[in-house]
Amino acid sequence: MSEDQKYLMVSNQAVDDGELVGKPPSEVSLEDLKALGHPQSLTKAVRAKCLDCAHHESEVRKCVQYSCPLWPFRMGKSPFHKRSKHNKETNNV
Ligand code: SF4
């Protein structure tokens, strides 16, 4: 099976006119997904995208684009989980 056959399919949407489109990830085997070498968590994927965008760890850390949807997650962790835990502890006092 070629790489294209693993990850692409002919669109079933008339508007795409038979164009090749990416398969839904749920239709690609885990083995094939892992072979692509993509991060296996959303936060790691965000971190990888930020490194791709800013080209260096220090530039990701200093990123000033706070309106970017990825900005809160750019260090590879979710600040919202930490805050939720903190808020629970604060509310239990
Ligand atoms: S937060 Fe957005 S703008 Fe900043 S490095 Fe990540 S992807 Fe790029």
pLDDT beyond 70 at 83 = no
Task: Reply yes or no on whether the pLDDT at 73 is more than 70.
Answer: yes
> For all residues of the chain together, what is the average pLDDT?
90
Is the pLDDT assigned to residue 93 strictly greater than 70?
no
Buried b (16+ CB within 10 A) or exposed e, 48-80: ebbeeebeeeeebeeeeeeeeeeeebbbbeeee
Give residue 91's Cα distance to chain centre.
Answer: 32
Q: Kindly report the protein residue whose alpha carbon is nearest to atom 7 of ligand 1.
A: 50
- Residue 49 clears pLDDT 50, i.e. is over it: yes
- For residues 24 and 88, which has the higher predicted lDDT (pLDDT)? 24
C-beta of 6 in contact with ligand 1 (< 6 A): no
Domain ranges of the chain: 3-35, 42-91
